[in-house]
Amino acid sequence: MSFRATVLTLYPEMFPAALGLSLAGRALEAGTWSLEAVQIRDFATDRHRSVDDTPAGGGAGMVMRADVLARAIDAASPEGDLRPRLLMSPRGRPLTQERVRELAAGPGAVILCGRFEGVDQRIIDARQLEEISIGDYILSGGEVAAHVLLDAIVRLLPGVMGNEASGEEESFENGLLEHPHYTRPQEFEGLPIPEVLTSGNHAKIAKWRRAEAEKLTAERRPDLMAKKPAQPVTK
């Protein structure tokens, strides 16, 4: 059973774009996941095919209409569709690797991309959209945020990453930022590779990496340290 993504957008030409290349692109070709970009405008009913209108109460910008969005969502995700309905939104819960993992383990996702000032609140309430933010800054639309979300999900789908272990040791997976990496040449601009890494002593290497990861996390992301699981995750 492959992961099925449906993206509702005013710019379907923005897909698959980066998701059609490299790891995600190969997985798309292999059928590990599928991607359908739906043009929201196709669900407008008036002569001008309008999808937005001025904000009730006044103010700048335009708001995406609940009735148009409802038709688009209901067509893309009819009753019985078990996929979560997501709305990319700066007001949403910040995306975490944990939520990415949960989504990757599921049947897929229906992702609504906002534009303008955002969407009418009633569509969020009536279709129980889960709002997801990719960070505390404002994008011009949800499409790039949907790319971020899907890229993070797809690399976790079975068989997508060649080396499964690399997923488990990565930043956030064990509550820590990852340790630093080195590769050849042995010396670069007078800087050698830390000796322990070329020692061949795997226990020592694991210990060093763990210590480096903890140091880095304490310095840069003490907030992660606070919620770190107690048991060490070393291999």
Least distance in Å: CB of 135 to ligand SAH?
5
Residue 52 marked ligand-binding: no
Least distance in Å: CB of 62 to ligand SAH?
10
Q: Does 85 bind ligand SAH (CB under 6 A)?
A: no
Beta bridge partners of 109: 5
Judged by CB under 6 A, which of 6, 9, 77, 89 binds ligand SAH? 89
Least distance in Å: CB of 56 to ligand SAH?
14
Judged by CB under 6 A, which of 49, 91, 215, 228 binds ligand SAH? 91
Q: Does 160 bind ligand SAH (CB under 6 A)?
A: no
CA dist 217 → 29, 89, 179, 196 (Å): 37, 28, 9, 21
Beta bridge partners of 108: 4
Least distance in Å: CB of 140 to ligand SAH?
6
Structure tokens at 161: 């990453």
Buried/exposed 167-196: b ≥16 CB within 10 Å, e otherwise: eebebbebbbbbbeeeeeeeeeeeeeeeee
- Residue 91: CB atoms within 10 Å: 10
Amino acid found at 14: M
Counting Cα atoms < 13 Å in the Cβ hemisphere of 64 gives: 25
User: Within positions 25 to 84, which residues make up the interface with ligand SAH, using CB under 6 A?
Assistant: none
Least distance in Å: CB of 34 to ligand SAH?
22
DSSP letter, residue 119: B
Q: Which is nearer to ligand SAH, 137 or 159 (CB)?
A: 137
Element (H, E) at 128: none
> By CB under 6 A, how many residues form the interface with ligand SAH?
18
Residue 136 marked ligand-binding: yes
Judged by CB under 6 A, which of 5, 8, 37, 145 binds ligand SAH? 145
For residue 140, what are the contacts with CB-CB under 8 A and spacing of at least 6?
A: 115
Q: Which is nearer to ligand SAH, 141 or 167 (CB)?
A: 141
Beta bridge partners of 218: none
- Give SS3 for 147: helix
Q: Which is nearer to ligand SAH, 108 or 114 (CB)?
A: 114
Residue 23 marked ligand-binding: no
Numbered residues of the known binding site for S-adenosyl-L-methionine: 114, 134-139
Q: Please report, as ranges, the residues that interact with ligand SAH according to CB under 6 A.
A: 88-91, 113-115, 117-118, 133-135, 137-139, 141-142, 145
Numbered residues of the known binding site: 114, 134-139
